[in-house]
Amino acid sequence: MPSNMNRNTLALLVVQVSSLLISTHAACEAECTTKDATNDFSFQYTGRCTPDTFNDKITNTETHECLVCLYNVDKAVSLTSIDSVVQSLCEDAYAADVFSYTDIARKGAQFDNEYYSGGGEWNYEIETASGEDILAYDASRVDDIYYYEAQRKVIEFPENIESFNPFNRENSFNGIQDLDGCDLNAAFCCFAQDRQAGDNNGNCATPYEYNCIDKDPADNTNICYIDHARSGNSGFSIFGDLQTGKENIEGSVHCHGFTWGDDPLSQDNVYKGNLLFYVSMYDHMTQRGYVRNIPGSPMCACAENMAVVTRADCTQVQVDEKVTFRWTVADSSLEAVVYIDDIDYNACTGLDANNNLLERARKLEDIGALAEEKVTAIEEILVGSTAGKCNAAIETFLGTKNVSRID
Task: Return per-residue pLDDT of the chain as tens, 407 residues.
Answer: 455 545 544 443 343 444 444 455 567 988 999 888 889 999 999 999 999 999 999 999 999 999 999 999 999 999 999 999 999 999 999 999 999 999 999 999 999 999 999 999 999 999 998 889 999 999 999 999 999 999 999 999 998 898 888 655 555 554 555 556 799 999 999 999 999 999 999 999 999 999 999 999 999 999 999 988 776 666 787 776 666 656 677 789 999 999 999 999 999 999 999 999 999 999 999 999 999 999 999 999 999 999 999 999 999 999 999 999 999 999 899 999 999 999 999 999 999 999 999 999 999 999 999 999 999 999 999 999 898 899 899 888 888 877 766 66
Neighbours of 103 (CB within 10 A): 12
E strand or H helix at 343 = strand 333-347
E strand or H helix at 27 = helix 2-28
CB 317 within 8 A of CB 390: no
Measured CA to CA, the distance from residue 307 to residue 271 in angstroms comes to: 24
**Treating both helix axes as pointing N-terminal to C-terminal, what angle do 61-75 and 2-28 enclose, rounded to 10 degrees?**
140
Eight-state DSSP code of residue 226 = E
Measured CA to CA, the distance from residue 292 to residue 299 in angstroms comes to: 6
Measured CA to CA, the distance from residue 108 to residue 104 in angstroms comes to: 10
Measured CA to CA, the distance from residue 273 to residue 281 in angstroms comes to: 12
Measured CA to CA, the distance from residue 49 to residue 335 in angstroms comes to: 12
Measured CA to CA, the distance from residue 276 to residue 112 in angstroms comes to: 13
DSSP state string for 264-309? TTSHHHHTHHHHHIIIIIIIIIITT-EE---TTS-SEEEGGGSPEE
CB 226 within 8 A of CB 284: no
Measured CA to CA, the distance from residue 371 to residue 332 in angstroms comes to: 38
